[in-house]
Amino acid sequence: MSEEKNRQMRLLAIDGGGMLGVYACAYLKALEEHFGKRIQDHFDLVAGTSTGGIIALGLGANKSPAEILDFYRTYGSEIFPMAKPYSRWKVLKLWRMFCDGRRRLDQGYWYDSAPLLAALKTVLSDADGRELKLQDSIIRLLIPAVNAQNCEPRVFKVRFEEAEVEHLNRDPEISMIEVAMATSAAPWYLPMAMVDEKGTKYTYIDGGLWANNPSLAAVIEALHYYVGEKRGFQSVGLLSIGLPSCAGFSNDGAYQRGVQFVPQLLSYAMESNKLGAHYGASFLLDGQDDLYHRVKPGNLTSDQARRLRLDSSDSDAIEELVMLGDHKAQNDKNLQVIKDLFT
């Protein structure tokens, strides 16, 4: 969007959540079609964590929500391959399950990162096959990660007119693909990722560990660098897209035990930090001209939770998420706050 004095800075924030990012793509696709204008033309900054970071980077690479949705449809089952069918013989089945589990526990993650890397090259490269850098983005971006060497939060950024602010001009040469790998390196699921920063390589883990909902980080960025007297923007409008979840223990105290408790605990930690960011963002956006809408898909039923996991990549799960995201957008498109954000 073009810089104009005394106008609102529009922010789009997209949560992390693996294949559940399909929901966000479907939601944005439906709104784009309804309002007849590209998502990139509605927002001044897009923040995304993990799968949300991949979507944000895709938008920065001038891809539409529909094209990014096709990315998930095409490569989801390669990134998160479904378990192969086991032998009908019970002993062999148990032995194979044991070997698979032991191998994955030993290496510290469940899935190989090579399929994700290969898939990202199809959407974050130009027509000549050149891998895009952050400076190639057509919109401002904010992508959280965690530096694994010192546990510090890291925010990869794209700036435009603010080149004179050194803090906003530190990442132009960094590869979009490496940033995507870094923000989505979810513990237990994928290995840590390396990012080359001016000739020095750093190791990163999923940004969802501290900003699974990047709304608060985006609002702080806007208020600190862009919004205020004698600046280009005078207020903030935020659309924050949450993803379907099944968070919390049941009332009877039932929960996974043993090794299965690890991913469940990780899920709960990430869901709780989403809510913390939501409360923080809503507290900061209390100005008369500020706008804030948090897309809340609602908790999944127990049956849905079994079908729609972070790594559910079968076509039925993907299309169910598409249906849920599209349905939510159809319900939201007539809300006044959505109309205000898209006009």
87 in active site:
no
Active-site residue identified among 15, 206, 290, 326: 206
Annotated catalytic residue, options 15, 50, 245, 290: 50
Helices 51-60 and 65-79: crossing angle in degrees, nearest 10, is: 140
Extended beta strands in 213-278, E state: 233-241
Gap between the Cα atoms of 66 and 71, Å rounded: 9
Residue among 201, 149, 188, 179 nearest 56 (CA): 179
Assess contact for 132 and 126: CB atoms under 8 A. Answer: yes
The answer to whether residue 50 is catalytic is: yes
Output the CA–CA distances (angstroms, integers) from residue 155 to 40, 141, 180, 278, in the order listed. Answer: 20, 10, 12, 18
Which residues, other chains included, contact 25 with Cβ-Cβ below 8 Å and sequence gap of 6+?
A: 55, 65, 66, 68, 69, 72, 322, 325
Residues ≥6 apart with Cβ < 8 Å to 340: 237, 291
**Rounded Cα distance, 159 and 139, in Å:** 8
CA distance 200 to 116: 23
Enzyme catalytic residues: 50, 206
